Structure 1
Amino acid sequence: MSLIDNEPVSNVAEFSVSELSNSLKKTVEDAFGHVRVRGEVSGYRGPHSSGHAYFSLKDEKARIDAVIWRTSFSKLAFKPQEGLEIIATGRLTTYPGSSKYQIVIEDVKPAGAGALMALLDDRRRKFEAEGLFAPERKKPLPFLPGVIGVVTSPTGAVIKDIRHRITDRFPVHVLVWPVKVQGEGSGDAVAAAITGFNAIDPGGKIPRPDVIIVARGGGSLEDLWGFNDEAVVRAAADSRIPLISAVGHETDWTLIDHVADRRAPTPTGAAEIAVPVRAELMADLAAFHARQQSAISRRLDHDRRQVAQTARALPSPDMLLALPRRRLDDASSGLDSQFLLTVSHQRQTFGAMASRLSLGTLEAAVRDKRSGLRHTALEAEQAVVGRLSRLRQHFQGLTANLQPIGLKARSDAARFKLDALSERFDRTESRITMERRDRVSQVWRVASSLGPQKVLERGYAILRGENDEPITDPAALPAGTVFVAEFSGKRRVGALSTGPTSGDGLTPKPKRRRRKTADEEASRVQGSLFEG
């Protein structure tokens, strides 16, 4: 008999690894098919890409793995948070592949209000550190909005209270975005509604709200937890439309209340904040109109009194114009006499100037200029001749003193230069003489154009008396005066008859024949007026 045959036979059943693992799995699931576990969430990183969430529950002495399947995770009203103490409801099971056990969670609730408050306080500090609660971010509400958007449940009493209050105060268009305000997905629905109102284009078919009211009735902390969701807070902070938060009662505070542009204690209070009272506005407008009319009347009365007082202090138009009228009359009365005086003075001035512009004066000036030019030309000619004579004598003396040997060429050069210089002097003399003759001719043409002979050529005549003096005044022609009438190129002797004259003093009137006197006989001998 061998040693093996001598070993004692055991009655313990033999299991394979798989059989033992399955047995343990069945035992654990039967014994702990429905359990509630209280513990702190550890290692939570959000749902996996597959939609399942894996983390652990722990306390100060032990640790257990936990998993929430995708179908259960989407139905949770409260999502687990890292470090939050929760009460998880589910069942225990094992994982044969690693000989571990875990709890499959079907429902999650916070472990009392203290845990929720701690989580709420952590979120509040986080958003406050980001500046989402800063007062400078808050936008002013419009005084009188045309459209009010309301985010709330369409079946509750909240929307009825808001619409009734707006109708009583100031009826405007109310646009309701129906959302779920409690339970699973309420936070995402509220955030989507706020974002949707901001996405409406102004002037489109759907009117864009001028202000948004997010409202809900009162409830517990768990009931209002959706308005503490991060998505709601960030949607309210990013809203370009002013937002009023009216969640819960006056003592209820949520995170949306901190980030909203205005918080209302109740939904009815939000309606009162959004629109003013129309009756009060009408009363204020009527009061302002009455005050304006009264102010305008008082101002017109005051201005009317001021104008009347100013008018009494001003002088009349006759008084204002009296002195200018007197000055105008004085000036107009002296204008005629001053004009006559000025004309007489100008006539005397022109007469004096005309007397100086006689033909004898011009001829004397021309004779003086001509005599001066002749004298100057003679002096220039004599100077040139004398200069040439002196130069010839000088060069002749130099030539006589020079030795004939070796100096003939130099003498010829000097003689050539002397001849050239003589020719230059001759040309200069001729040119200067011609220039002076041209100048005399120009002066003579100007003098001739200004002379009285040119005037006579245009049909005028000059009367001359004794000493060949011009007669310019008819008063200097008494009866019997003998004068000479000078025409263009002709001179005639005439005499005025001694008889009475006509109105112009020149044409004699018919008279009786009488004996001629000695003067008349002399006048007859000299010739009559215009006699050739």
Structure 2
Amino acid sequence: MAQSFFDDSQSNLAEYTVSEISGSIKRTVEDAFGHVRIRGEISGYRGPHSSGHAYFSLKDDRARIEAVVWRGVFSKLKFKPEEGMEMIATGKVTTYPGSSKYQIVIESLEPAGAGALMALLEERRKKLAAEGLFDEGRKQLLPHMPKVIGVVTSPTGAVIRDILHRITDRFPVHVVVWPVRVQGETSGDEVAAAIRGFNALQPGDAIARPDVLIVARGGGSLEDLWGFNDEAVVRAAAESDIPLISAVGHETDWTLLDHAADVRAPTPTGAAEMAVPVKAELEANLAAISARLSGSISRALDTNRQNVRALARALPSIDMLLALPRRRFDESAGGLGRALQLNTANKRQLFERRAAQLTPATLQRRVLEKRQMIAEFGVRAERQVERQIDRSSARLSNAAARLTLRPATDRIARSHDRLQVLARRSGEIVSLLSERRSRQLQEAARLLTSMSYRNVLKRGYAVVRDAKERAVDSAASLASGDAISLEFADGRVNAVTADGDAAPARRKPAAKKAEGKSPKGSKDQGSLF
């Protein structure tokens, strides 16, 4: 009776499939736990998956829960998950039927208190400082008088009005505003995109390229200013080719952007004062410099005029300057006639001496000397030609002696001897090669003989072949009455197969001897033949 009652109770239970029970549990968990806030330490985070989703765990000292951040939510998170950080996650608890696990689908993530934010900020500051993004050596100087100023801030706040008002009062220039959100999850990415967008402008574009940038925002809490601690903002500021002024918060507020910027301003108004000079002061300085320049020019002209007058008084008169040259000219003119006369007399005396030396005897002596020289040169030339002819004849004789048939005969004889030696060596090589090939052939023949099946036949075995001369490897392949041939070591024998229970037609003596040794009453086992 007890067994029957147990069977009836089992049959009354409803049956569920695995999918049905998993879906029921999923709906129950999601209905019981809607949006929840879970505080725990991030564990097992290795960055976003290739799909863009992020998977990790939240744990405390006694339990852990799996967590997932979908790709669309991950890109909007103000605080990205980091391994070991204690965070507060807001989302919906659900189950994953594929592995029977429950998890939280995170919709927002924030550090667990200001202490965690400060720890995260300090860790990020050390990381970026180690990369050299805060080095003073890479920071640029601000232009003294910029023509265009780019401002990255909210277009509706009081900050942009203060900046424009201060620039208008001090030195009106062209201002280009790039509107961004200065608070919220996307503020960091928008500020970084604005800085890179200003740097991407080129001279001559429809939008003028700024000479200096101002990134500004009013004061606020650490959470409100967190977008300016974003790593993307810091890297964009460090990469900016345009000098950048950071004016985020009040004078006591510090962000990572202040370290990466070229100049930090205590307030947005102070940034405007740093960006442009005071026009009235420039005009006053220009007027003072102009007055000083005019006074200096007047004093320099007066001084030069006095110097010219003093030099003019020190110069001699024209008569005094020409007196000495006139005297020298008169003295030279007076001595010119006497000098011409003396020169003419000297030339006449020299001509007479040369004429006295030109006598016929002197000319004849000179002619004889030249003839003797010519004769000596002729004799020397004849001797030189004879010696050249003798040397040429000797060279021709030596060449003719070398051009005989004996050297050619000797070379032919040496070549014949070498040819005989080579022929003898080739014969020896051919003999050696023939012997080597014969030995190799004999070895191959011995190997073939040792591997041949005929050696097996000599030990009493036979090869069975069918009517088509194919080797038979099993009895099942033959039927009764098939013609076969048996190959022994000393020849072949033809035969016909018979049934297994038929008596053999002929027995050998060895078979009779074996039959006599069998126990009495044993039956014949039959034969294949």
Once residues 70 and 221 of structure 2 are traced to their aligned partners in structure 1, the CA distance between those partners, rounded to angstroms, is 28
Shift of 1:183: 0.6
Q: Which residue does 1:302 correspond to in 2?
A: 303
- Structure 2 partner of 1:217: 218
Shift of 1:291: 1.7
Distance 1:7 1:272, change over 3 A: closer
Separation in structure 2 between the aligned mates of residue 74 and residue 343 of structure 1, nearest angstrom:
117
Identify the residue that residue 94 of structure 2 maps to in structure 1: 93
Change (3 A) 1:352 1:85: closer
Q: Which residue of 1 aligns with 2:264?
A: 263
Computing the radius of gyration from Cα coordinates, the structure with the larger value is 1
Higher deviation after alignment, 5-14 or 206-215: 5-14
**Cα RMSD over matched residues?**
3.2
Taking the aligned partners of 1:31 and 1:348, their CA distance within structure 2 comes to 149
Residue 276 of structure 1: CA displacement?
A: 1.1
How far is 1:57 from its partner?
A: 0.7
1:337-358 deviation per Cα after TM superposition (whole angstroms, max 9, x unaligned): 333444456557667877x59x
Aligned residues: 366
Match of 1:491 in 2: none
- The question of 1:43 aligning with 2:63 is answered no
Once the two structures are TM-superposed, the CA of residue 127 in structure 1 deviates from its matched residue by: 0.7
Secondary structure at 1:144's aligned position in 2? coil
**Which residue of structure 2 aligns with residue 332 of structure 1?**
333
CA deviation map 1:46-101 (0-9, x unaligned):
33344432211112232111122344434433332322211112232333333322
Match of 2:244 in 1: 243
Counterpart CA distance in 2 for 1:104 and 1:52 is 11
Cα separation, 1, equivalents of 2:210 and 2:73: 37
Task: Tell me how far apart the structure 1 counterparts of residues 289 and 256 of structure 2 sit (CA, whole Å).
Answer: 42
2:107 alignment counterpart: 106
Taking the aligned partners of 1:349 and 1:24, their CA distance within structure 2 comes to 147
SS of residue in 2 equivalent to 1:269:
helix
Structure 1 unaligned blocks of 5 or more:
374-427, 429-532
Q: Deviations over 1:9-59 (max 9, x none)?
A: 879967757465555444443443332211111222333344432211112
Once the two structures are aligned, what percentage of the paired residues are identical?
69
Tell me how far 1:267 sits from its aligned partner. 1.3
Match of 2:188?
A: 187
Alignment of 1:124-203 (within 5 A): 124-203=125-204
Counterpart amino acid of 2:334? S
Q: How far apart are 1:258 and its partner, in Å?
A: 0.8
3-state SS, counterpart of residue 327 of structure 2:
helix
Cα distance change on mapping 1:353 and 1:183 into 2, 3 Å: closer
Q: Whole-Å Cα distance in 2 between the matches of residues 22 and 325 of structure 1? A: 134
Deviation at 1:6, TM superposition (A): 8.5
2-structure distance, mates of 1:6, 1:278: 104
User: Separation in 2 of the partners of 1:150 and 1:59?
Assistant: 45
Which residue is 1:282 aligned to? 283
What are the superposed Cα offsets for residues 259-316 of structure 1, whole Å, 9 maximum, x if unpaired?
Answer: 1111111111111111111111111112122222222333333333334334444444
Structure 1 residue 320 and structure 2 residue 316: aligned? no
| 2:319 alignment partner, SS class | helix
SS at match of 1:104: strand
Residue type of the alignment partner of 1:43:
G
CA distance in 1, matches of 2:364, 2:32: 160
The corresponding residue for 2:63 is 62
Report deviation, 1:5.
4.5
Partner of 1:478: none
Q: What is the CA–CA distance in structure 1 between the aligned matches of 2:359 and 2:97, rounded to whole Å?
A: 154
Which whole-Å CA distance do the structure 2 matches of 1:353 and 1:5 have between them? 175
Change in Cα spacing, 1:50 to 1:259, as seen in structure 2 (3 Å) is same
Secondary structure of the structure 1 residue equivalent to 2:77: coil
Q: Distance in 1 between matches of 2:163 and 2:313?
A: 66
Gaps of 5+ in 2: 369-378, 380-529
1:332 partner SS: helix
Q: What aligned pairs does 1:21-32 form with structure 2 within 5 A after superposition?
A: 21-22=22-23, 24-32=25-33
Name the SS of the counterpart of 1:191 in structure 2.
helix
Distance 2:349 2:104 in 1: 143
Most deviating of 96-105 and 184-193: 96-105
Q: Kindly provide the amino acid, as one letter, of the partner of residue 84 in structure 1.
A: M
Q: Residue type matched to 2:326 in 1? A: R
Per the alignment, in what secondary structure is the counterpart of residue 300 of structure 2?
Answer: helix
Q: 3-state SS of the aligned residue for 1:221?
A: coil
CA distance in 2, matches of 1:25, 1:334: 140
When residues 268 and 348 of structure 1 are mapped into structure 2, their CA distance, relative to the original with a 3 A threshold, is same
Letter in 2 for 1:241: I
Using the alignment, how far apart are the partners of 2:106 and 2:352 within structure 1?
140
Q: Structure 1 residues 82, 369: CA separation in 2 closer, same or farther (over 3 Å shift)? A: closer
- How do residues 494-509 of structure 1 correspond to structure 2 at under 5 angstroms? none
Distance of 1:352 and 1:53 partners within structure 2:
126
CA distance in structure 2 between the partners assigned to 1:15 and 1:65 by the alignment: 30
Cα separation, 2, equivalents of 1:335 and 1:8: 167
Report the CA distance shift for 1:116/1:353 in structure 2 as closer, same or farther (over 3 A).
closer
CA distance in 1, matches of 2:109, 2:5: 60
The residue type equivalent to 1:318 in the other structure is D
Residue 317 of structure 1 and its aligned partner are, at CA, apart by 3.9
Matched, 1:293 2:310: no
Matching residue's letter, 1:182:
Q
The aligned amino acid for 1:331 is S
- Give the Cα separation in 2 of the matches to 1:362 and 1:46: 125
- Secondary structure, counterpart of 2:228 in structure 1: helix
- Give the whole-Å Cα distance in 1 for the aligned partners of 2:137 and 2:233: 20
**Structure 1 SS opposite 2:245:** strand
Secondary structure of residue in 2 paired with 1:320 = helix
Counterpart code for 1:330:
E
Deviation string 1:335-386 (CA, Å, 9 cap, x unpaired) is 22333444456557667877x59xxx967x59x969x99xxxxxxxxxxxxx
Following superposition, the deviation at residue 119 of structure 1 comes to: 0.8
Cα distance in structure 2, aligned partners of 1:369 and 1:241: 104
Which secondary structure state, in structure 1, belongs to the residue aligned with residue 78 of structure 2? coil
Equivalent residue number for residue 410 of structure 1 = none
Between stretches 91-100 and 270-279, larger displacement belongs to 91-100
The residue type paired with residue 271 of structure 1 is A
Amino acid at match of 1:214: V
Secondary structure, aligned partner of 2:258: helix
Give the letter for the 1:277 counterpart: V
Partners of 2:150 and 2:36 in 1: CA distance:
45
